[in-house]
Amino acid sequence: MKNLKIPNFLNTRMGFFSLLAVLFWIKNIAAYMTEFNLGIESPMQYFILFINPIATTLLLLSIALYVRRTKLSYITMMLIYFIMTVLLFSNVTYYREFTDFITINTMLGAGKVAEGLGQSALKLFHPTDIFYFIDFLLLGGALMTKKIKMDERPIRARVALAVSTLAVMIFSGNLFLAETDRSGLLTRTFSRDYLVKYLGINAFTAYDAVQTYKTTQVRAEASPNDMKEVEDYVKGHYAAPNDEMFGIAKGKNVIYIHLESTQQFLIDYKLKDENGVEHEVMPFVNSIYHDKSTYSFDNFFHQVKAGKTSDAETLLETSLFGLNQGAFFTQFGGKNTFEAAPDILKQTQGYTTAVFHGNSGNFWNRNEIYKRFGYDYFFDASYYDVNEDNSFQYGLHDKPFFEQSAQYLEHLQQPFYSKFIAVSNHYPYAEFTNDDAGFPMANTPDETVNGYFATANYLDKSVEEFFNYLKASGLYDNSVIVLYGDHYGVSNGRNRSLAELVGKTSSTWNDFDNAQMQRVPFMIHIPGQENGGINHTYGAQIDSLPTLLHLLGIDTQNYIQLGQDLFSNGHKDMAVFRDGSFMTSKYTFYNGTLYDNDTQLPITEPSEELQAQIDELQKEANRQLEISDKINNGDLLRFHTGSGLEPVDPSDYSYKNIMERLLEQEKTLGNQSTSVFSQNNNQSTVDLYETKSYKEYHPEAEKDETTTSTSEAK
Ligand code: GP9
Ligand code: MN
């Protein structure tokens, strides 16, 4: 040790600075490789991951370069280094327990996290963790014993500025690459994994701090008085239930099936293959759509914006809109108060509540917001066997997803409220490369459009298999099953390629057509009911919650919901889009142009009377959106006292060790247990689940293929 020669370079300020920067970069990369699971998919993403610690490390450390006094400069440098290390290390340990990164809100409530961890906190530390701090200790020691000498010469301000500027430039380059690889990274903020993967932990934390500050400001300005305006609006907008429908599903389980990216035009749609043979895309969903036990809607619209799936979830479970910019789930999910479906059903009817989704729990901040929605259980990717063969970038594919969900579902106490979020039918609708390949591709100039039908067909089969299981296990008869499409699958920018496939012409395609394409499926299947049918009411996702609650026999008057029961005689025949566009049975007002639904043509010179009518509708649409934004931005529901609901305390919720808890509960309840498992004499029903690949369902298709290829070979 004594003879250890310190290279001269390290005895300069710049040298010491560089050493710290390199060391931190190494630590950071090591953590990326060994601790976090960031789902890197391409060489480009590896490259971005590799460079992303550099910019912020340089920028932060460069602060010390501006300090002229020797000791103070070294202390500042070491202090910054220490803080960055602590931040990295805290994220490492937090991730070990929560598979997530630390937000500012988590830091502010750190006491609660520690409390929740209790004894297990110590287990989060590994002996090798010394690696994160050893260099700090050694360097500190070397400075104090003068092994490394402090350089008395201050760094020139110009040089310090050059380093900071370089850091900013590297950051811009990093950001550019990130946005190219994942557009909307900062505006849509999908998940914390993404931000870390693309920009690093320091940048993620800074970004989160800014967002947290912004939302805290608006929230601080809101007051209980603002609630009055909201209550008045809701009272005036309320649509009383239809007596014939109220309570027809009382006490039943609720099973929401989220049909990812499924548009209404897929219903009853048949895709022609290259030989002109027609293939029904969603035969099973169609059979449900036309079933006498199903209340189907064919003028039902999605209302999402940048928050896509998560906006649909907000709309369906809270009867409020998402935001006009960014994702509500990520911006407010960790702090707002809700009157959400799971909580209402739990508190008023004793429902058990659970979500199933085969993607990481922090995507769209679900692991936070679900607690505030009152979800008892959230089975995220960590509960599923997800591997390279059965998954893609958004998680587990639908067939194994539904199949593997059965082992958990059978242990839920009934009645339960549950949501299954499928995902395989997601952009970019990549062709299956395994035995699930086989459904024909469409033949348009757009690959994305071409693949859409095959993934939708896969989703259809997955749902069919799940229904079969529900029937076999006995759950079916006790349940209301709601199928809904969350948003478009083919974006407006691609609709021209789709035009010919939906009986239109690409060259005359316009915004009127775009607007019509925003219809999504919505069906409420109630086994035992016989007077279902296709309802033509114009409605939208915001209407789902009051509709469902009324079917379950729950009065909604005391809740703050902006939608209306679709069965109510008072339901307004109208759907409002998030951007202020709207749709009625007569008119389409989309992107600022008014169209007549019958002629499908723009109305350029409306009569005075019509104009007044449209103005009135526009006012109504804007009012609904404005009230929603007031509630969400100001977190106004924390002031609402009339709901009769006890406030939700998110720290009462945990999504760890769910299975152990369910089994324990079954045991405690004994013969009072209402889970399917218990009702089946404590025998699992999982074996009743049957799943097969496309090739297994269509052995004839494969034969055809081999015959054609052999005949071609000849
Ligand atoms: C991800 C999935 C997809 O978990 O729900 O979300 P989307 O991209 O459709 O919003
Ligand atoms: Mn979606």
pLDDT in tens, 154-188: 999 999 999 999 999 999 999 999 999 998 888 88
In the prediction, which pLDDT does 712 show? Answer: 39
The catalytic residue positions are 309
Domain assignment present for 1: no
Q: 167 and 69, same structural domain?
A: yes
What are the angstrom distances between the C-alpha of 517 and each of 47, 281, 490, 506, 507? Answer: 39, 17, 9, 14, 17
What are the angstrom distances between the C-alpha of 341 and each of 46, 329, 568? Answer: 41, 16, 19
Supply the range of the domain harboring residue 419: 225-695
Cα(395) to centroid(ligand 2), Å? 12
In the prediction, which pLDDT does 308 show? Answer: 95
Please determine, for residue 554, whether its predicted confidence score (pLDDT) is greater than 50. Answer: yes
Task: Judge residue 256's burial from the number of C-beta atoms within 10 Å of its C-beta, 0-12 exposed, 13-18 middle, 19 or more buried.
Answer: buried
Cα(187) to centroid(ligand 1), Å? 15
Give nearest CA residue, ligand 1 atom 3: 309
**Ligand of minimum distance to the alpha carbon of 305:** 1
- Which of the pair, 105 or 176, is modelled with greater confidence? 176
Domain assignment present for 617: yes
Give Cα 386 distance to the centre of its chain. Answer: 18
Rounded Cα gap, residues 415 and 250, in angstroms:
10
Mean pLDDT across the chain: 94
In the prediction, which pLDDT does 710 show? Answer: 41
Annotated binding residue 260: yes
pTM over 0.75: yes
In the prediction, which pLDDT does 216 show? Answer: 87
Domain assignment present for 501: yes
Domain assignment present for 574: yes
Give nearest CA residue, ligand 1 atom 4: 359
- Our answer on whether the CB atom of 363 is closer than 6 Å to any ligand 1 atom is yes
Q: 348 and 248, same structural domain?
A: yes
Q: 663 and 626, same structural domain?
A: yes
In the prediction, which pLDDT does 711 show? Answer: 39
Instruction: For residue 714, name the pLDDT band (cuts at 50, 70, 90).
Output: very low
| Pair 129, 89: CB distance under 8 Å | yes
Q: 249 and 204, same structural domain?
A: no
Domain assignment present for 704: no
Q: 75 and 172, same structural domain?
A: yes
* Domain end position, chosen among 191, 219, 247: 219
How do strand 539-540 and strand 533-535 relate by DSSP bridges?
unpaired
Please determine, for residue 659, whether its predicted confidence score (pLDDT) is greater than 60. Answer: yes
- Our answer on whether the CB atom of 424 is closer than 6 Å to any ligand 1 atom is no
- Our answer on whether the CB atom of 258 is closer than 6 Å to any ligand 1 atom is no
- Our answer on whether the CB atom of 422 is closer than 6 Å to any ligand 1 atom is no
Q: 309 and 334, same structural domain?
A: yes
Domain assignment present for 702: no
Annotated binding residue 555: no
Instruction: For residue 694, name the pLDDT band (cuts at 50, 70, 90).
Output: very high
- Angle among Cα 459, 384, 396 to the nearest 5 degrees reads 35
Tokens 């934390």 -> residue: 205
- Our answer on whether the CB atom of 249 is closer than 6 Å to any ligand 1 atom is no
Q: 156 and 85, same structural domain?
A: yes
Question: What is the number of domains present in the chain?
Answer: 2
Instruction: State which ligand 1 atom lies nearest to the alpha carbon of 258.
Output: 5
Q: 239 and 204, same structural domain?
A: no
Q: How far apart are the first and last CA of the chain?
A: 77
Instruction: State which ligand 1 atom lies nearest to the alpha carbon of 308.
Output: 10
Q: 308 and 167, same structural domain?
A: no
Q: 213 and 230, same structural domain?
A: no
Give nearest CA residue, ligand 1 atom 5: 309
In the prediction, which pLDDT does 112 show? Answer: 64
* Domain end position, chosen among 219, 251, 284: 219
Helix residue ranges, H only, 602-693:
608-634, 658-669, 676-679
Tokens 């808890």 -> residue: 661
Q: 594 and 537, same structural domain?
A: yes
Q: 297 and 171, same structural domain?
A: no
For a substitution probing ligand 1, which of 423, 424, 459 has the most ligand atoms within 8 Å of its CB? 423
Q: Which one, of 264, 262, 258, 266, lies nearest residue 299 by Cα?
A: 264
Mean pLDDT score, 406-419: 98
Domain assignment present for 645: yes
Domain assignment present for 710: no
Annotated binding residue 486: yes
In the prediction, which pLDDT does 188 show? Answer: 81
Annotated binding residue 487: yes
In the prediction, which pLDDT does 218 show? Answer: 87
